[in-house]
Amino acid sequence: MLSRRKILCGLGAALLLAGCNTTTQLVESSAASTYRVASVNVSSSLTRKNTAVPIEQIISTLKTKSQSALVGASRNGDVPVVVNVDIDSLYIANPGAGALLGSTASSVAGAVTIVDAVSGEPLGDQFRVLGVTEARPTVFGAAAIKPPQQELAIISDDFAKRLKIAIFGE
């Protein structure tokens, strides 16, 4: 018979693994090393009209943070590229839902394409990137949920970091 301690340890490990979301380089290193990010375009295919933060602000924040991360990582490339991001999934957590559900995290996800800035030709396959806050399990985790603007800042930072890793690696 399983002891209470083993069950709790197993549940804790499962929650920890569920919260892990790793990103690896998805663009061939030899190609990525030649890229110089000229611009980042962010759009949204979300059909929802009402969000905790206006869609325009979400797009602007993601664009600013992604552009900053990518331009800094691609200073030595000689092929100008445009990174297109289409946001198709967004959830900004709120304490009320966290208290009811017992766990919640904010997240943003989108499809990414890289195109040659001169010819407009796609450079490789489309891929997905996810930005997420840390897991906040239990009803008490709801207390750790920040106001919507701060949640947006956290998921935008994480998205930009993962986008940089997906294209240029660590």
Q: Which residues contact 76 (CB under 8 A, 6 or more apart)?
A: 33, 36
Q: Three-class SS of residue 150?
A: helix
pTM of the model: 0.81
Through-space distance between the first and last CA atoms of the chain, rounded to whole angstroms: 45
Q: So what's the pLDDT on residue 109?
A: 96
Query: Mind listing the pLDDT tens digit for each residue in 52-102?
Result: 788 899 999 999 999 999 998 987 889 999 999 999 999 888 766 655 565
Are the CB atoms for 104 and 142 separated by under 8 Å? yes
Domains of the chain by start residue, with CATH: 4-168 (3.30.160)
